Structure 1
Amino acid sequence: MSKHQELKPAREMAEHGRRYPNESDEYRKARTALLAEEIELRRHLERVAEQRRALPPGGQIPEDYLFQGEEGPARFSELFRDHDTLVTYNYMYGPKRERPCPMCTSLLSAWDGQVPDIEQRVSLVVIAKSPIEKLAAFKKERGWRHLRLYSSAGNTFNRDYLAEGPEGEDFPGLNVFTRRDGTVRHFWGGEMGSESADPGQDPRGAPELMPIWIILDNTPEGRGTDWYPKLSYDKKG
């Protein structure tokens, strides 16, 4: 969206004239006001995306980290494959965990089917500190087909890119790297966490990465504060 392009007022755009069956005037008035806010939100998200894309070059990676992948060892620079942009997700499945983080797993399960589409544009990999055999076994159990998993057990990538604490605790992390003229640099990383969370809300980034929350945010119940995805559910769940 051009900075110089004049935009129609959101309130004017919200007056589209369409109606749902049997809706009241009260409902339509409130829905129109909400639609104007939704249009403004979309515009704000695009402004943020433009600002993100305009970031100056980030820091060069400290080393060409060595990972263990499902097909053998691979250097960080090799994870780009044929692309010049690499997206990495730090999965909370470190060696101290018997089972992986349910929230991370829910997110990655949603992403798995979209990997073939995503990788038309950029490279995407999932990184965790557990041995690759453990990661691959869970991938098979979960039925993931497309996600590329790598173990960072032998390097400092997690710690360097804010996904590992001083006691070895693991944190989720989304990072984007670029390769330009043979130089690999950090482009952007999610930095919203507990210290930036608003009262009464769980820490979350923006825009939302998890499809489950996007869907629930459109319902009267919302996402709530007392329920989170699980790795599995019984018949009653």
Structure 2
Amino acid sequence: MTNTALPPVADAKIWREELDQLRKREKAATRELDAIAAARRRLPMVELPDYTLTGADGPTRLVDVFRGRTQLIVYNHMWTDGAEWQCGGCTGYTSQFTRLDFLDSYDARFVIVTTGPIDEALAYRDRVGNMMDWYSSSDSPFAADVDAAPDSGFAVNVFLRDGDTVYRTWHTNGRGTEQLSHTFGLVDVLPWGRQEEWQDSPSGWPKREIYSGWLDSEDIARLYGRSE
């Protein structure tokens, strides 16, 4: 891509002074995120029914999805039954998570739950090269009960297990899921940022339609999985 839009050029002293001013705002944002995380740890939780999902080995109680761990993060993946390619945003987002063993040290797991039939879901996971464990809630009200009903979108939900009882502790969707992603953090530190129409950028900065820079499902399969 060729573009002539460039930031203004300054000497090192001015650049450092302006960076220091920006750093104050960045530090304030970090402290606010710390405060939000502290408030999140103080949220109440709600007890859930004894849901049964379907995994690669058949019906699985939600409590058993924890595999002995106490905490569980679930990405509720958008799904259309019978479609060759599922949501590009969800496919690209979850393709980031390739090394999750570090969660073992935090007594936690991270899995995907979709409303699609488990056979379709597992075949799609392999086609796009996804590395996570997938489960289906197609025979359960689980998805609707955690704000991720069929045809309604995607979400992240977090759960805590106490013995055989499971509690829901946190939920987000939309741009709230960005905090779990490294993709946008990396792109946002680039001089041109995401280059999407909605963003506040200097005059002349490259702009394109929202989502148009994202990899689609076929791209993910070609890069990481099996596209045939």
Query: Does 2:114 align with 1:143?
Result: no
Partner of 1:49: 37
Partner of 2:103: 118
Partner secondary structure for residue 35 of structure 2 = helix
Paired positions, count: 196
- 2:118 is matched with which residue: 132, 135, 143? 132
Q: Is the 8 A contact 1:65 1:157 kept in 2?
A: yes
Partner of 2:162: 180
Partner of 1:15: none
The 2-side partners of 1:98 and 1:55 are apart by 40
Structure 1 residue 233, shift from structure 2 partner: 4.3
In structure 1, list runs of 5 or more residues that go unmatched.
Answer: 1-21, 194-203
The 2-side partners of 1:128 and 1:48 are apart by 28
- Within a 5 Å distance, the mapping from 1:151-166 to structure 2 comes to 151-164=136-149
The 1-side partners of 2:14 and 2:51 are apart by 59
CA displacement, residues 50-109 of structure 1 (integer Å, 9 cap, x when unaligned):
1101112x1111x21111111221011111111111111100123164421111111111
- 1:108 is matched with which residue: 78, 81, 94? 94
Larger relative contact order (C-alpha < 8 A, sep ≥ 6)? 2
Partner of 1:224: 195
Structure 1 residue 23, shift from structure 2 partner: 4.6
Partner of 1:85: 71
Q: Which moved more, 1:223-232 or 1:127-136?
A: 223-232
User: Per the alignment, do residues 89 and 132 of structure 1 end up closer, same or farther by CA in structure 2, a change over 3 Å counting?
Assistant: same
Structure 1 residue 181, shift from structure 2 partner: 4.6
Partner of 2:15: 27
Amino acid of the structure 2 residue aligned with 1:205: G
Structure 1 residue 206, shift from structure 2 partner: 6.5
TM-score (norm 2): 0.78
Partner secondary structure for residue 208 of structure 1 = helix
Partner of 1:7: none
The 2-side partners of 1:51 and 1:214 are apart by 23
| Percent sequence identity over aligned pairs | 27
User: Per the alignment, do residues 120 and 148 of structure 1 end up closer, same or farther by CA in structure 2, a change over 3 Å counting?
Assistant: farther
Q: Is the 8 A contact 1:45 1:207 kept in 2?
A: no
Structure 1 residue 134, shift from structure 2 partner: 1.0
Query: Does 2:196 align with 1:214?
Result: no
In structure 2, list runs of 5 or more residues that go unmatched.
Answer: 1-9, 197-208, 223-228
Cα RMSD between the aligned structures?
2.2
Q: Is the 8 A contact 1:105 1:231 kept in 2?
A: yes
User: Per the alignment, do residues 162 and 96 of structure 1 end up closer, same or farther by CA in structure 2, a change over 3 Å counting?
Assistant: farther
Partner of 1:40: 28
Structure 1 residue 114, shift from structure 2 partner: 2.2
The 2-side partners of 1:76 and 1:172 are apart by 19
The 2-side partners of 1:233 and 1:91 are apart by 18
The 2-side partners of 1:209 and 1:229 are apart by 18
Amino acid of the structure 2 residue aligned with 1:89: Y
Structure 1 residue 169, shift from structure 2 partner: 1.1
The 2-side partners of 1:206 and 1:103 are apart by 11
Partner secondary structure for residue 120 of structure 1 = helix
